[in-house]
Chains A and B, each alone.
Chain A
Amino acid sequence: MPPPPPAPWASEPAGTWQRLDPRMLLVHPVRELVRFWPALLGLLVAGGASGTGPWGLVAVAVPVTLGVVRYLTTTWRITEQRIEVRRGLLQRHTLAARLERVRTVDLTASPIHRVLGLATVAIGTGSVVGDDDERLELDALPREVAAGLRVRLLEQRLGAGADAVAGTGDATGAGGSSGSTQRTVLARFEPRWLLYAPFSGTALLAVGAVAGGAGQLASETGLPRIVGLDERDLGRVDQFSILLVASLAAGGIALIGLIALGSYLVLNGGFVLSREGSAWHVRRGLLTRRETSIDVDRLAGVSLGEPLLLRVARGRRLDGIVTGLARAPGVGAAALVPPAPAATVTGAAGVVLGSGTPLEAALRTHGPAARRRRFTRAAAGAAVPGALLVLAVLGGAPGVVLVLLVPLALGALALAGDRWRALGHALVPDPRRRGASHLVVRSGSLTRRREALATDHVIGWTTRATWFQRRLGLVHLAATTAGGRGHVDALDIPVGDAVALARAATPGLLEPFLVGTSAPSAAVALGPPAARTAPRHAPEPAPATKESTVSDSDYRPRPDGHPDPGEVVWTWVPYEDDPQQGKDRPVLVIGTDTTDDGRSAVRCLVMTSKDHDRDAAQEERAGRRWMDVGTGGWDRQGRPSEVRLNRLLVVPVDDVRREGAALDRDVYERVLAARAEFEG
């Protein structure tokens, strides 16, 4: 393998404190100059005589001074484990994030930044931070340094997930070249996408605003005059005012279209969605260019936007459900694809999800009760304006006003029907990962969305049912997650379906609480922590862990085709922070057991060739305890290995692969003793 080209940041030895780029000193003054140009113009024209002089000077001096202070007091460095940012003049802050906690990296460059060749780097770590001071943000670095930093930060995530036993080779191989070579473009801006601009949500809001304004204008100008004029003039003025209102409306619509086009172009011009190494990259913005990089593992799912207007134009939009996106200012932080042709968007979504099925699969509808509820609610919604109209007529308004009831009723019916057709849910298996699937839900009409959330990103469940819903046997089911809005909802789903869906998505989580299960009787039923070392709601019965009833841990490795205590065997081990993913790893057999469904199994401890000595303290804080066991036949490169003492797996015998390696008896006994001590 040729050595990877040195990244720009590599010119500094790791761990050196570095400053921002001095060119950032120009950014803020230039920005302030733009903002204060009228004042400055006054200053130039009138000089100090008009009295604007001192204020004009302050307007320039303050941002310049602030910039200099910020430049002088902000430094950053990246070490093996952490990225750190130091800032503050009087009160020094040091912000630090462990590299494996980095989920997203955001590069933003305003036009000024771009002219100067700079970019602002914002690092998202998943902690929800509202305070500006606490945000990991570097404003600004040279573009190449920023890009190199991004590669480094995200590559680290890849390295943290992989394991030294088998992963070192390809992890560094992929990391070294991921910045430039492994780039797959999923979607790219095309000028014809501009056709979708008027159909996006912002345009709809603008139409509403202008229509409201036009209505007001018509009533303020035309109508009172009509009322005040006599019969003969009425026809003429009526024509005139209709013409006026119509041309105003046409002009307004044209203006809205232009605004929509312009804002779409400014926001999404140059849009590219691509996969680079272990991250999704979204680049967009005609003037201010923003590049968001989302670690693949942190994309919990997608939300396919199909609002009514966009559906009419056969367009769609796509947002990511992302954990730990930097809450930097700016709109649509997690937007993956702007309003664009449906085929393009669903195609890109299919690649992001690893399969198009979650977006195409037929959804299970929510049944007659849900339909009745949609229509009842629409009727209730229309009843209020309807009643007002009737009251108005009773109160003396012309009877012709009642005609408005017809569009009102029709609109409510159409909306209810469309909302009903939207409702649906499904659980779609993920072809990429064993035991994983996507929870898919759809709802809404004017703002319809179809959301697909990977089940391993489901944190928990919330069900909510009003008295009406309980009477109909319906419930509002929300899967809570760390990304996006925090929850993905199935509206008005029948109770039975809701429980079935949640059980299938997170096996084992709901089971203790189902009707017919016995509940513990003690006031605080905190028994032995049976699942202390279990992978989180294990995806399938295979690596499920449970308290052993029978265990025989005597040392007896035998070449009998059966895994025995003392042997090192290979099996699929889920990652702790993402049990839906995992890898083939060596494990030490320390006993026999049976799985919940009665299959014969072995109790195992995870092994690794990683050297944990150098950061033992950190490992301990993270709750991981390792013990050296030396070298052996399980590692062909003869690297010293360790056994993790506090993570016990119970693996069915059928899922284990023997390669004939075993620990020495005394080492094995020491592992057992250490584990007993640890457990004791």
Chain B
Amino acid sequence: MTDLRDPAQRVSPRALAMWHVEVALEAAATAAAAIVAAAVWAPDAVRWWLAGAAAAAAVVAAVVVPQWRYRVHRWEVSATAVYTQRGWWARERRIAPMSRVQTVDFSQGPLARLFGLATLTLTTASAAGALQIEGLDQQIAVRLADELTRRAEDAGGDAT
């Protein structure tokens, strides 16, 4: 039985750091809200247990989620096609031929800019076919965007 292998390239190691910050911020906000809620509404007996559980869950999430994401988020560009993988519970792999790529979007959020990272989104003519690579090194993303745009143009046609 032949299966697809994982795409060859990992995203930038700095993405790991960025996701740690990102998830830690989110988890801290959620945990703070949960702790406040527990302190106000929960009965005395379980109040601090609940608050502790929320804090522990936040710490675990901040440590585990980025690691997991870094293991799963992968990409690869062959001579003729682009291949991406993402998702932790439902793992999603997408393949699109270079000739069917219509637009290449380069985007950078404030946090990503701080870490020198970028996201590439490749759209095809299908409403369901966009490929996204998060956490790419900025330089690589720029080169990749140029190269993909050029090859998509070379392929000609209207990519439908």
Interface residues of A (CB under 8 A from B): 101, 126, 128, 323-324, 459-467, 470, 478, 480-482, 485-487, 495-496, 499-500, 506, 508-510, 512-517, 519-521, 523-527, 529-534, 536-537, 576-577, 622-624
Minimum distance in angstroms from A487 CB to a CB of chain B: 4
Q: Inside 8 A of A622's CB, which chain B residues have their CB?
A: 156
Q: Inside 8 A of B155's CB, which chain A residues have their CB?
A: 532, 536
Can you spell out 11 A-B residue pairs with CB atoms less than 8 angstroms apart?
A128-B127, A461-B94, A464-B90, A482-B126, A495-B3, A515-B2, A515-B4, A523-B9, A529-B79, A533-B154, A534-B80
For the complex, give the distance between the alpha carbons of A499 and B5 in Å.
11
Interface residues of B (CB under 8 A from A): 1-5, 7-9, 76-81, 83, 87, 89-100, 124-129, 131, 137, 140, 143-144, 147, 150-151, 153-160
For the complex, give the distance between the alpha carbons of A506 and B97 in Å.
10
Known: A513-B78, A532-B151. A466 touches B90 (CB 8 A): yes
Q: Inside 8 A of A525's CB, which chain B residues have their CB?
A: 8-9, 76-78
Given contacts A512-B80, A526-B143, 6 further A-B contacts (CB under 8 A): A462-B92, A467-B90, A530-B80, A531-B98, A532-B154, A533-B154
Known: A514-B4, A531-B80, A534-B80. A524 touches B151 (CB 8 A): no
For the complex, give the distance between the alpha carbons of A576 and B159 in Å.
10
A462 in contact with B5 (CB, 8 Å): no
Known: A486-B126, A520-B8, A526-B143. A623 touches B76 (CB 8 A): no
For the complex, give the distance between the alpha carbons of A480 and B102 in Å.
14
For the complex, give the distance between the alpha carbons of A623 and B156 in Å.
6
For the complex, give the distance between the alpha carbons of A531 and B156 in Å.
12
Query: B3 touches which one: A482, A514, A531, A537 (CB < 8 A)?
Result: A514
Q: Inside 8 A of B157's CB, which chain A residues have their CB?
A: 536, 576-577
Query: B2 touches which one: A323, A461, A467, A499 (CB < 8 A)?
Result: A499
For the complex, give the distance between the alpha carbons of A530 and B99 in Å.
13
A480 in contact with B129 (CB, 8 Å): yes
Query: A496 touches which one: B2, B90, B126 (CB < 8 A)?
Result: B2
Q: Inside 8 A of A486's CB, which chain B residues have their CB?
A: 126-129
Known: A464-B90, A465-B90. A480 touches B128 (CB 8 A): yes
A527 in contact with B91 (CB, 8 Å): no
For the complex, give the distance between the alpha carbons of A550 and B126 in Å.
39
For the complex, give the distance between the alpha carbons of A324 and B80 in Å.
25
- In the complex, what residue of chain B is closest to A495 when comparing beta carbons? B3
- In the complex, what residue of chain B is closest to A300 when comparing beta carbons? B160
Minimum distance in angstroms from B15 CB to a CB of chain A: 14
Known: A480-B124, A623-B156. A496 touches B3 (CB 8 A): yes
B156 in contact with A459 (CB, 8 Å): no
3 interchain residue pairs of minimum CB distance: A519-B8, A486-B127, A460-B96
- In the complex, what residue of chain A is closest to B148 when comparing beta carbons? A526
For the complex, give the distance between the alpha carbons of A480 and B100 in Å.
11
A524 in contact with B128 (CB, 8 Å): no
Number of A-B residue pairs with CB-CB distance less than 8 Å in the complex they form: 173
Q: Inside 8 A of B158's CB, which chain A residues have their CB?
A: 101, 126, 577
- In the complex, what residue of chain A is closest to B84 when comparing beta carbons? A462
For the complex, give the distance between the alpha carbons of A526 and B143 in Å.
9
Q: Inside 8 A of B78's CB, which chain A residues have their CB?
A: 512-513, 520, 525
Q: Inside 8 A of B91's CB, which chain A residues have their CB?
A: 464-466, 470
Q: Inside 8 A of A464's CB, which chain B residues have their CB?
A: 87, 90-93
Task: Say what secondary structure dominates the interface of chain A.
Answer: loop
B151 in contact with A529 (CB, 8 Å): yes
For the complex, give the distance between the alpha carbons of A496 and B3 in Å.
6
For the complex, give the distance between the alpha carbons of A524 and B10 in Å.
11
B76 in contact with A513 (CB, 8 Å): yes
For the complex, give the distance between the alpha carbons of A390 and B90 in Å.
32
Minimum distance in angstroms from B29 CB to a CB of chain A: 27
A531 in contact with B79 (CB, 8 Å): yes
For the complex, give the distance between the alpha carbons of A623 and B154 in Å.
7
- In the complex, what residue of chain A is closest to B80 when comparing beta carbons? A531
Minimum distance in angstroms from A657 CB to a CB of chain B: 26
A515 in contact with B80 (CB, 8 Å): no
Minimum distance in angstroms from B120 CB to a CB of chain A: 12
B4 in contact with A499 (CB, 8 Å): yes
Minimum distance in angstroms from B105 CB to a CB of chain A: 15
For the complex, give the distance between the alpha carbons of A128 and B131 in Å.
18
Minimum distance in angstroms from B77 CB to a CB of chain A: 6
Known: A512-B78, A515-B2. A460 touches B90 (CB 8 A): no
Q: Inside 8 A of B97's CB, which chain A residues have their CB?
A: 459-460, 506, 509, 536-537
B7 in contact with A513 (CB, 8 Å): yes
A513 in contact with B83 (CB, 8 Å): yes
Q: Inside 8 A of A481's CB, which chain B residues have their CB?
A: 126
A463 in contact with B4 (CB, 8 Å): yes
A515 in contact with B5 (CB, 8 Å): yes
Known: A459-B126, A482-B126. A536 touches B99 (CB 8 A): yes
A537 in contact with B144 (CB, 8 Å): no
Most buried by A among B92, B126, B154, B159: B126
Query: A459 touches which one: B92, B124, B140, B143 (CB < 8 A)?
Result: B124
Query: A126 touches which one: B129, B150, B160 (CB < 8 A)?
Result: B160
Q: Inside 8 A of A513's CB, which chain B residues have their CB?
A: 4-5, 7, 76, 78, 81, 83, 95
For the complex, give the distance between the alpha carbons of A464 and B87 in Å.
9
A512 in contact with B128 (CB, 8 Å): no
For the complex, give the distance between the alpha carbons of A462 and B7 in Å.
14
Q: Inside 8 A of B154's CB, which chain A residues have their CB?
A: 529, 532-533, 623
Q: Inside 8 A of B2's CB, which chain A residues have their CB?
A: 496, 499-500, 514-516
- In the complex, what residue of chain B is closest to A494 when comparing beta carbons? B1
Q: Inside 8 A of B94's CB, which chain A residues have their CB?
A: 460-463
Q: Inside 8 A of B144's CB, which chain A residues have their CB?
A: 524, 526
Known: A526-B143, A532-B154, A622-B156. A480 touches B126 (CB 8 A): yes
Q: Inside 8 A of A527's CB, which chain B residues have their CB?
A: 79
Query: B95 touches which one: A461, A536, A577 (CB < 8 A)?
Result: A461
Query: A526 touches which one: B1, B8, B77, B127 (CB < 8 A)?
Result: B77
Minimum distance in angstroms from A1 CB to a CB of chain B: 33
Minimum distance in angstroms from A6 CB to a CB of chain B: 32
For the complex, give the distance between the alpha carbons of A537 and B159 in Å.
12
Most buried by B among A461, A516, A576, A623: A461
A515 in contact with B3 (CB, 8 Å): yes
For the complex, give the distance between the alpha carbons of A126 and B3 in Å.
34
Minimum distance in angstroms from B159 CB to a CB of chain A: 8
Most buried by A among B78, B89, B150, B155: B78
